[in-house]
């Protein structure tokens, strides 16, 4: 009787383990199918287009790939794999982690060799990113081998796709030297940094201009100011400071205010509102609106806007 009970218990555990294994493999298949599509996009939209790609497009696409990679793996990582498929699960986890880390570090490594192609540090950064992707490819191959072995013990509910981020058909683009050779003359990849004050709006709005070209404002004691800040460059810019300065007609500084922006993406823009600037009816003022001048800023003339105003007397 005891032997029969033990047999039933063992059979129950086996069925439970098999169900858990199948559930894990179904989720794993959904995850790696997403990664297969991601690998194809990485090859087709990034690696094979490096010679003609724009730097800002590379940045935006890679940011999206990194986010997609994390999203694809989220569901699988919440699952507990059965002991019977621990080896396969470990290989898959290594593949997913390596691919994700490789994508995360690829952009920085790529731009490093674009900006400083002859430095050892730059080459090493990109080499590490490619190595992570290759580790992921190899780990996934081991996962497929483990799944094939599982198929001798249970009926597999799904067929796993091939996933390779750096396939042999890419040739030299699988290696740092090949990528450097392509991007060294790619004009669209060269770093361009340029912030601008693209527009300034006053409230109350001007009612005209005087003979000096100064804006005429209706009578007011407080002036509200909204400015648009744009990133005309091709990299994410961070720690941006926008400032407004109010000067009297003799150049004395009457008021200053600054606002810090966390960051601005390539081609991105944002608006900044400044609190009431104190003005007096009948007086003339100069307003200076400025944004951070970046190292190697390609056009510093658009970092500052100067506006001369005259506030009307009350009617």
This prediction's pTM: 0.77
Instruction: Taking the CA atoms of 23, 25, 29 and 31 in sequence, report the sign of the dihedral they define.
Output: positive
Same domain, 82 and 171: yes
For residues 208 and 210, what is the distance between their CA atoms, to the nearest angstrom?
7
Residues near 110 by Cβ (< 8 Å), separated by ≥ 6?
58, 126, 129, 179, 183
Per-residue confidence (pLDDT) for residue 15, from 0 to 100: 52
* Tokens found for residue 106: 């690829």
Same domain, 252 and 139: no
116: left (phi over 0), alpha (psi -120 to 50) or beta: beta
User: Of all helices (H) and strands (E), which one includes residue 277?
Assistant: strand 269-278
pLDDT in tens, 42-74: 999 999 999 999 999 999 999 999 999 999 998
* Tokens found for residue 315: 């009617």
User: Of all helices (H) and strands (E), which one includes residue 162?
Assistant: none
For residues 75 and 230, what is the distance between their CA atoms, to the nearest angstrom?
38
What does the buried/exposed string (b/e) look like for 260-292 if buried means 16 or more CB atoms within 10 Å of the residue's CB?
A: ebeebbbeeeeebebeebebeeeebbbbbbbbb
Same domain, 25 and 131: yes
Residue pair 174/137 in contact by the 8 Å Cβ criterion: no
**Of the residues 189, 220, 249, the one at which a domain ends:** 189
Same domain, 21 and 132: yes
Same domain, 168 and 220: no
C-alpha distances out from residue 171 to 48, 124, 162, 176, 179, Å = 11, 20, 18, 11, 10
Same domain, 27 and 172: yes
How far from chain centre, in Å, is Cα 300? 26
**Of the residues 139, 168, 189, the one at which a domain ends:** 189
Domain around 68: 2-189
| Domain count across the chain | 2
Per-residue confidence (pLDDT) for residue 78, from 0 to 100: 87
**Of the residues 162, 189, 216, the one at which a domain ends:** 189
* Tokens found for residue 46: 């990034």
Residue pair 250/193 in contact by the 8 Å Cβ criterion: no
Same domain, 262 and 134: no
pLDDT in tens, 126-146: 999 999 999 999 999 999 999
Same domain, 82 and 96: yes
What's the chain's average pLDDT? 90
DSSP single-letter state for residue 219:
S
17 band by pLDDT with thresholds 50, 70 and 90 = low
For residues 255 and 304, what is the distance between their CA atoms, to the nearest angstrom?
17
At residue 311, does pLDDT exceed 90?
yes
* Tokens found for residue 62: 């890679």
Same domain, 214 and 145: no
User: What CATH number is attached to the domain comprising 266?
Assistant: 2.60.40.10
For residues 227 and 19, what is the distance between their CA atoms, to the nearest angstrom?
60
pLDDT in tens, 72-107: 998 898 888 788 888 999 999 999 999 999 999 999
Residue pair 35/162 in contact by the 8 Å Cβ criterion: no
Q: Which of 287, 269, 174 is nearest to 223 (CA)?
A: 287
Same domain, 40 and 97: yes
Share of the chain above pLDDT 90, in %: 75
8 band by pLDDT with thresholds 50, 70 and 90 = very low
At residue 185, does pLDDT exceed 80?
yes
Same domain, 247 and 119: no
Same domain, 38 and 171: yes
Q: Which residue has the tokens 């990109």?
A: 126
């Amino acid at each position: 009787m005891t032997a029969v009970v033990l047999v039933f218990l063992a059979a129950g555990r086996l069925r439970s383990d098999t169900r858990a294994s199948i559930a894990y493999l179904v989720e794993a298949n959904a995850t790696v199918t997403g990664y297969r599509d991601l690998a194809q996009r990485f090859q087709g939209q990034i690696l094979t287009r490096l010679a003609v790609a724009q730097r800002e497009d590379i940045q935006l696409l890679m940011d999206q790939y990194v986010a997609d990679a994390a999203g694809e793996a989220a569901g699988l990582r919440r699952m507990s794999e059965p002991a019977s498929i621990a080896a396969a699960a470990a290989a898959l986890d290594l593949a997913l982690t390596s691919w994700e880390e490789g994508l995360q570090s690829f952009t920085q490594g790529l731009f490093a060799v674009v900006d400083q192609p002859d430095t050892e540090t730059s080459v090493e950064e990109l080499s590490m990113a490619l190595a992570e992707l290759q580790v992921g490819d190899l780990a996934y191959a081991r996962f497929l081998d483990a799944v094939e072995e599982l198929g001798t013990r249970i009926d597999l509910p799904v067929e796993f796709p091939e996933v390779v981020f750096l396939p042999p058909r890419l040739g030299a683009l699988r290696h740092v030297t090949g990528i450097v050779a392509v991007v060294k003359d790619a004009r669209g990849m060269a770093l361009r940094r340029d912030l601008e004050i693209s527009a300034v709006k006053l409230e109350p709005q001007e009612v005209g201009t005087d003979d000096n070209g100064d804006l005429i404002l209706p009578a007011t004691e407080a002036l509200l100011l909204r400015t648009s800040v744009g990133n005309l460059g091709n990299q994410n810019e961070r720690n941006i400071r926008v400032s407004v300065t109010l000067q009297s007609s003799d150049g004395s500084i009457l008021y200053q205010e600054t606002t810090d922006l966390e960051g601005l993406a390539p081609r991105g823009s944002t608006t900044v509102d400044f609190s009431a600037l104190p003005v007096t009816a009948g007086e003339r003022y100069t307003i200076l609106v400025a944004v951070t001048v970046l190292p190697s800023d390609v056009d510093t003339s658009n970092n500052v806007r100067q506006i001369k105003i005259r506030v009307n007397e009350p009617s």
